[in-house]
Amino acid sequence: MPTLTDELKRELATANDEFQNLLRRHHEHERRLAELATKTFLTSDEELEEKRLKKEKLHLKDRMEEIAREYRARVGSSH
């Protein structure tokens, strides 16, 4: 399955409100996961948060890919 190109991400982020929101949330999850990764030890709550964020991040990415596939099909683009 093709991945999202930076060009397509920019296009969809300006043209599609849902995609823009998904992308924003995905980046927020990445930032928080990076914060958690810097810790030597995670509390039980932080471990649960980390697992939840990873799952949510995957769901967000799946939905963004779905929107991109729909967009490609609609515009017949090689993005």
pLDDT single digits (tens) 15-71 = 999 999 999 999 999 999 999 999 999 999 999 999 999 999 999 999 999 999 999
Predicted confidence band of residue 78 (pLDDT cuts 50, 70, 90): low
- Asked if residue 79 is part of any domain, the answer here is no
Q: Is the pTM of this model over 0.75?
A: yes
- Asked if residue 35 is part of any domain, the answer here is yes
Burial of 22 (0-12, 13-18, 19+ CB in 10 A): buried
Whole-number Å distance between alpha carbons of 26 and 20: 10
What are the start-end ranges of the H helices in the chain? 6-15, 17-37, 44-75
> How many distinct structural domains can be found in the chain?
1
Per the structure, the complete domain to which residue 20 belongs is given by 6-72
- Asked if residue 59 is part of any domain, the answer here is yes
- Asked if residue 1 is part of any domain, the answer here is no
